[in-house]
Amino acid sequence: MIRYCPTCDRSTEDARFIGEFCEFCMIKLISKEVPESIALSECKVCGKIKGINEFLASEQKAMSEILQREIKNKEIRVSSVHPSGSHAAIARFNYMAGKDELVFEKKIMIKRHMVTCTKCSRQNSGYYQAIVQIRGERSAVSRMSDKITRFIEKRDSFIAKRLDLRNGIDLYVEDRKKMSSFFDLYKEHRPKKSYTLAGMKNGKKLYRVTFSLNLDVVKSED
Ligand SMILES: [Zn+2]
Ligand SMILES: [Zn+2]
């Protein structure tokens, strides 16, 4: 039996039907549940865009996270987002209506707010959570310092300060967890750890950790 769409009068011979409505009207209805615009926070220093939990290098990934969060109807899934100029994006969606899948696109306007991301503001202020004191023979110390620096920078952290001393090198490292993971990975280095109280945050004591690494000691144990 031929049915007609109550909104546009298309018949079941002209279009696929999703329940009462033709597919075109259904898409119109569903796309109303997608916001016309979203707001993005962009770091003015490094250009990263804030996603749900962190600043991301991929603008597309950040956009789709934020867009998905703004859609109340969780049956609508963002499948891809393509920036179109700097103030708009074309987003593609999937919607499951029972067994029927609807795929549609919508142009989303982008409002950008310029901010400074956590990493960049920490970098500006010389923030650090850990100090690594590397001691030993000069060239070994220098190689170790480079190795740690590469390790830390690869993991999206940074060295806040490097002190070249008469007897070694001190590295001031932004993220103490990432510094600890270096020593978890390279178990042949067993630094002495000590803690100093750095301040309070939300009623909790904040500690800075100092890793004292003597490369000569490692060698003599080998
Ligand atoms: Zn229709
Ligand atoms: Zn930044």
65-96 pLDDT per residue, tens = 999 999 999 899 999 999 998 899 999 999 98
In-domain check, residue 121: no
pLDDT in the model for residue 222:
47
Q: How far is the CA of 157 from the centre of ligand 2 (A)?
A: 11
Point out the ligand nearest to the CA of residue 122.
2
Lowest mean pLDDT across 43-57, 93-107, 208-222: 208-222
> Under a CB-based contact definition with an 8 Å cutoff, are residues 111 and 37 in contact?
yes
Q: How far is the CA of 82 from the centre of ligand 1 (A)?
A: 28
Q: Hey, what's the torsion of the CAs at 116, 120, 126, 128, to 10 degrees?
A: 110
pLDDT in the model for residue 73:
92
Distance from C-alpha of 99 to C-alpha of 131, rounded to nearest angstrom? 58
State the maximum Cα–Cα separation within the chain, in Å, rounded to a whole number.
91
Residue 47 predicted with pLDDT over 90: yes
Q: 52, 83, 116 — which closes off a domain?
A: 116
Give the predicted TM-score (pTM) of the model: 0.73
Q: How far is the CA of 44 from the centre of ligand 1 (A)?
A: 46
pLDDT in the model for residue 25:
95
Show Cβ contacts of residue 105 under 8 Å, excluding neighbours closer than 6 positions: 90, 91, 92, 93
Q: How far is the CA of 193 from the centre of ligand 1 (A)?
A: 70
- 98 and 185 share a domain? no
Q: How far is the CA of 129 from the centre of ligand 2 (A)?
A: 18
- 94 and 140 share a domain? no
Q: How far is the CA of 33 from the centre of ligand 1 (A)?
A: 17
Residue 203 predicted with pLDDT over 90: no
Residue 57 predicted with pLDDT over 90: yes
Structural domain of residue 207, as residue ranges?
126-221
- 203 and 159 share a domain? yes
Tokens of 218: 């490692």
- 132 and 200 share a domain? yes
Q: Does residue 169 come out as left (phi exceeding 0), alpha (psi in the -120 to 50 range) or beta?
A: beta
- 132 and 73 share a domain? no
Q: 60, 85, 116 — which closes off a domain?
A: 116
Residues with CB under 5 A from ligand 1 (ion): 5, 7-8, 10, 22, 25
- 108 and 140 share a domain? no
Distance from C-alpha of 35 to C-alpha of 17, rounded to nearest angstrom? 25
What average pLDDT is seen over the chain?
Answer: 93
- 58 and 91 share a domain? yes
* Confidence label for 200 from pLDDT (cuts 50, 70 and 90): confident
pLDDT in the model for residue 218:
52
118-170 pLDDT per residue, tens = 999 998 899 999 999 999 999 999 999 999 999 999 998 999 999 999 999 99
Point out the ligand nearest to the CA of residue 5.
1
- 66 and 131 share a domain? no
Q: How many domains in the chain?
A: 2
56 burial via Cβ count (<10 Å: 0-12, 13-18, 19+): middle
> Under a CB-based contact definition with an 8 Å cutoff, are residues 81 and 68 in contact?
no
